[in-house]
Structure formats: C-alpha cells, structure tokens
Structure 1
Amino acid sequence: MLPSHRRSWPESPAEPACTWMMMENNGKAIPPIRIELPAALRVLAENRATIEARGETVAQALDDVGQRHPLLLRRILTRGGQLRPHVNLFVNETDIRHCQGLDTALGQGDVLVVVPSVAGG
C-alpha cells in the first residue's frame, strides 16, 4: 500500500513550499502528475508539450517517464541518476534543489516543469 501526499503550506516565507505530510492512500493508485517539457525536448516525447507520470517522488515520476521515453530521461538525468547540472526541475513553482532534490514528494495535481539552462553570448 503506497501513501499519498498532501501539501502543507510553509510556516514562514523562508521555508520552501515543498513540505509534505504523508497520508494513507487506502490502496488507491497514485494519481498522475503533469510534466511540462520545453520545446527542445518535446521531440523525445512524441512532440508532446506535456506528458503524465506516476510516482510519489520526482525520482519515481522520472523513472516512470524513462520507461516510455528513455531518450528524454537521458537528457534530464546523468548515467548515475543525478539531475544534470544545466537542467532545472520545478514542482509547481519551487526548484527541487530548494527542497529534497529528486526525493521531493509529489501529490495529486502537482506539475513538474523541466527547464534547461540557457547560456551563451
């Protein structure tokens, strides 16, 4: 039986908006979250701007994505399973690096946004 998550809002502005309370899911399936992709990565996901994934954490959701779109996953994570340095992931509007990284919990209705860094001159 997998737990679900419910957002608990920050106690103070300094606390990241990614604090979660575990709730029992009574054996129900984990609801999908939406993943928004930048234009440059859409070709790796059947030219879709958004895809769905299931998982209790960002890592689990990305693993789910990797089952269907392995080339997309390679652009987001290193071979060692870490977030690539020039890729940013946001759960709703909060950078996962300000939370628990790939272990950041996900809940129903969350949106994971993939934002590659842009550099150059």
Structure 2
Amino acid sequence: MSVTVRIPTILRTYTDGRSEVTAEGGTLQEVLADLDRNHQGIAARVLDDDGRLRRFVNVYVNDDDVRFTEGLATPTPDGAGVSIIPAVAGGAR
C-alpha cells in the first residue's frame, strides 16, 4: 500500500527538505520501516529505543490519532495520509 507521509519541519533534514514523501506498507509500523529505509535515521526520531512511538510525537493515519486506534498496528490503506506531528510544550503564563 502506498501512502503519503507529511513530514514536520524539524524532520525535513532526513527528506532533503521535502514536506511530503511516499512510503509503502499495510500498517503504520511497515510504513515507518519503509520511510527509514528511504530516509535513514528518521525512525529514530519517531520511535524510542524499544520501538514504540515517542511520547512527544503524535502520528495520525488520515484523521485518526494512532494512540487511540491500534498504535503501530494501525492499518494504512492505499492512498492514506500519515502525519507526523511533534508535540508542542509550553503555554500561556
């Protein structure tokens, strides 16, 4: 399955500055593995040492936050959009 992955500004050094790239896979885990094969090092910024999504990174498949669906096992149907969004800390004082 081919999906479009939206890359946040902070990770675009891994994608030669591109804001969107394509990746293959039937699940989010497979998509991230393919993404890392083609853009080496990007998975280490999204996954922790145990292979789980980092706490400060939100990932959506289409409009669904994968933390509330099936996590890395979330299906990624052909044509889906995957968004990687770093969490923003802070707030008003």
What TM-score, normalized to structure 2?
0.92
* Percent of residue pairs identical: 33
Higher RCO structure, 1 or 2 (CA under 8 Å, sep 6+): 2
Structure 2 stretches of 5 or more lacking a match? none
Q: Give distance in 2, aligned partners of 1:51 and 1:79.
A: 24
Q: How far apart in 2 are the matches of 1:114 and 1:69?
A: 14
State the Cα distance separating 1:77 from its structure 2 match: 0.6
Task: State the Cα deviation string for residues 27-69 of structure 1 (Å, max 9, x = none).
Answer: xxxx310000111111121111001110010000000011122
Aligned length: 91
Matches within 5 A, 1:1-121: 31-121=1-91
Q: Which residue of 2 aligns with 1:12?
A: none
Instruction: Give me the whole-angstrom Cα distance separating, in 2, the residues matched to 1:34 and 1:79.
Output: 25
Q: Which runs of 5+ in 1 are unaligned?
A: 1-30
Cα distance in 2 for partners of 1:51, 1:73 equals 14
Q: Which runs of 4+ in 1 moved over 3 A?
A: none
For the residues of structure 1 that align with 2:60 and 2:76, how far apart are their CA atoms?
11
Give distance in 2, aligned partners of 1:79 and 1:68. 20
Which one has the bigger helix percentage? Answer: 2
Provide the alpha-carbon RMSD of the alignment: 1.0
Amino acid in structure 1 at the alignment position of 2:88 = V
The Cα shift of 1:83 comes to 0.3
- AA aligned to 1:71 is G
| Cα offset, 1:93, TM superposition | 0.8
